[in-house]
């Protein structure tokens, strides 16, 4: 049971956001800009960073909601996403993407864990300052979202198919709350 009274049946972050439109607005806007705004990192790559950090933080809802979106954008299956969260270095992801995931791993531990060597490596593989900035901020933001979702002990469907099934619709509608959370 969640730590505070949250409307029943709303999975993960949707519950607390439905209670609090005042915080829902900047939180959804941040997610929209980071994950869907114009960017040289594809939406799939950004969802992958979010999924990976959520997996490191052991947040079931976020890693599956964003993993579902990542597999939709990247046109792969959930097994491939699981391979990445288990050991991304052994996958066929680009070396640049691996270097960015390495930075995200450090951010998850704490900002000071990011090293000059990690950043130089990413730059040498073609990562731009904006891409490095966005990787750091996506990783940091999911350290927030994950703590918000689990710190209130929100409910989440345990069937992973649930997240895969709704990924296409979530990808199309984006993160801005154009309709009430209850309709989702």
Q: Could you list the residues that contact another protein (CB under 8 A)?
A: 3-5, 16, 19-20, 22-23, 25-27, 29-30, 33-34, 37, 57-59, 103, 106-107, 110-112, 114, 116, 119, 129-130, 132-134, 136-137, 139-141, 143-153
Nearest Cα residue to 31 out of 147, 176, 164: 176
Nearest Cα residue to 10 out of 148, 159, 180: 180
Residue 109 or 168: which CB sits closer to another protein?
Answer: 109
Q: How far is the CB of 77 from another protein (least distance, A)?
A: 28
Q: How far is the CB of 86 from another protein (least distance, A)?
A: 20
Residue 91 or 106: which CB sits closer to another protein?
Answer: 106
Residue 42 or 130: which CB sits closer to another protein?
Answer: 130
Residue 25 or 42: which CB sits closer to another protein?
Answer: 25
Q: How far is the CB of 14 from another protein (least distance, A)?
A: 14
């Amino acid at each position: 049971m969640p730590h505070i009274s949250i409307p029943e049946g709303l999975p993960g972050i949707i519950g607390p956001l439905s209670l609090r439109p005042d915080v829902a607005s900047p939180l959804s806007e941040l997610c929209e800009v980071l994950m869907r705004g114009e960017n040289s990192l594809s939406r799939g790559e950004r969802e992958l960073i979010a999924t990976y950090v959520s997996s490191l933080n052991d947040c079931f809802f976020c890693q599956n909601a964003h993993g579902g979106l990542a597999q939709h954008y990247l046109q792969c299956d959930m097994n491939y996403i699981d391979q990445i969260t288990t050991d991304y270095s052994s996958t066929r992801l680009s070396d640049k993407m691996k270097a960015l995931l390495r930075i995200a791993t450090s951010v998850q531990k704490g900002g000071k864990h990011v090293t000059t060597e990690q950043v130089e490596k990413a730059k040498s593989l073609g990562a731009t300052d904006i891409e490095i900035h966005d990787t750091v901020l996506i990783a940091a933001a999911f350290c927030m979202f994950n703590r918000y979702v689990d710190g209130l002990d929100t409910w989440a469907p345990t069937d992973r198919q649930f997240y895969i099934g709704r990924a296409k619709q979530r990808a199309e509608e984006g993160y801005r709350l154009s309709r009430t959370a209850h309709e989702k």
